[in-house]
Amino acid sequence: MKSYNITTLDDFIIRRQKDYPEAKGEFSRLLHHIGTAAKMVGSKIRKAGLADILGRAGNINVQGEDQQKLDVYADEVFTSALLSSGECCGVASEENQNIITFTHEFAVNGNYIVCMDPLDGSSNIDVNVSVGTIFSIYRRISGRGAEVSDDDFLQKGTEQVAAGYIIYGSSTMMVYTTGNGVNGFTLDPSLGEFCLSHPDLKLPQKGKLYSVNEGNYIKFPEGVKKYIKYCQERDESTNRPYTSRYIGSLVSDFHRNLLKGGIYMYPSSEIYPDGKLRLVYECNPMAFIAENAGGMASEGTKRILDIKPGSLHQKTPYFVGSTEMVSLIEEFIKNNP
């Protein structure tokens, strides 16, 4: 008999749960609901060019940016899924100024809070380029049953219980870690299931790709400029020049570099003194994934996961990817203050 060895996301979650005899299945339920929301959003994105969903929703989000309709949809779908899991008692989202507290009877005792960017890179939707969802899960620090507060969401990245992203690309994939390796699941549209396709992902220690918005080059700090020049110089012994690849969609740029090896950079500049990316729901989850795959994430001089967030939408300069590349840019920054 032929064997069809398929591991679905739910199989995988249950298998992992068995490694923790004390686990009550709460966390597994939460992840399952995130998977379901991802399928709903993925399906809507597939129809984006057909349905009347393209274009702006007419609202401005807390970052002062126009919201796309799909941002709103993704935010609602993920928030509803997290609520209905019954395991999540509050959510922080790029799309909302303040945290959302779940006071419903079945959710108030949930042990987890989730920080998310429901649709990152959404300005790419209109031009049919990949976008993604980013999520980060923490155990609440407020007592069960109490209302959550900002402190629950302003924990250091080192406290993450899990982090992941969904990439809505040529296929839909979910990649996540619970601090014990990174695994990738590809959605089989005919089955409607995420299937384990990229077990135990490892970020190559060095790579050949660098990803940065070079349009901002002249406004970058000196160390970053010198590192970019280093990437472009010819030196066969170190495999240079490197290749420049930038989609402008963090999830997609990170995903490619995770698989192939490389560095993603969003430095400070005159236009964005703290960079553009948000620590709590963009940088920390990707940093947790990077580290769990053997990579590194830095704000230039220190580890991203060690930063204590002061506010929900705080920004930070960001360098993430292959350890040798991130370490080297730290050197360039240190030597060119």
- Of 276, 283, 286, 323, the one binding ligand AHM (CB under 6 A) is 276
Burial (CB count within 10 angstroms: exposed 0-12, middle 13-18, buried 19+), residue 92: buried
Binding footprint of ligand AHM, residue count (CB under 6 A): 12
Contacts of 306 (CB under 8 A, 6+ apart): 156, 157, 158
Nearest-approach distance from CB 191 to ligand AHM, in angstroms: 29
Partner whose binding site includes residue 276, from Mg ion, ligand AHM, none (CB under 5 to 8 Å by kind): ligand AHM
Residue with smaller CB distance to Mg ion, 261 or 317: 317
- Of 43, 149, 213, 244, the one binding ligand AHM (CB under 6 A) is 213
Which residues ranging from 165 to 184 are in contact with ligand AHM (CB under 6 A)? Answer: none
CA distance 76 to 89: 16
Nearest-approach distance from CB 81 to Mg ion, in angstroms: 19
- At 38 the three-state DSSP class reads helix
- Of 10, 26, 65, 66, the one binding ligand AHM (CB under 6 A) is 65
Residue with smaller CB distance to ligand AHM, 38 or 286: 286
Residue with smaller CB distance to ligand AHM, 172 or 249: 249
CA distance 14 to 153: 27
Residue with smaller CB distance to ligand AHM, 43 or 213: 213
**DSSP per-residue codes, 124-180:** GGGGT--EEEEEEEEE-SSPTTSPP-HHHH---GGG-SEEEEEEESSSEEEEEESSS
CA distance 65 to 119: 13
Please report, as ranges, the residues that interact with Mg ion according to CB under 5 A.
117, 120
By residue count, the chain amounts to: 337
Which residues ranging from 235 to 274 are in contact with ligand AHM (CB under 6 A)? Answer: 248-250, 253
Q: Distance of CA 318 to CAs 17, 18, 108, 193, Å?
A: 33, 36, 34, 33
- Of 27, 39, 74, 94, the one binding ligand AHM (CB under 6 A) is 94
In the complex, which residue's CB is closest to Mg ion?
A: 120
Label the pairing between strands 182-188 and 193-198.
Answer: antiparallel
Which residues ranging from 103 to 132 are in contact with ligand AHM (CB under 6 A)? Answer: 117, 120-122
Partner whose binding site includes residue 122, from Mg ion, ligand AHM, none (CB under 5 to 8 Å by kind): ligand AHM
Burial (CB count within 10 angstroms: exposed 0-12, middle 13-18, buried 19+), residue 304: buried
Partner whose binding site includes residue 152, from ligand AHM, Mg ion, none (CB under 5 to 8 Å by kind): none
Which positions touch ligand AHM (CB under 6 A)? Answer: 65, 94, 117, 120-122, 213, 248-250, 253, 276
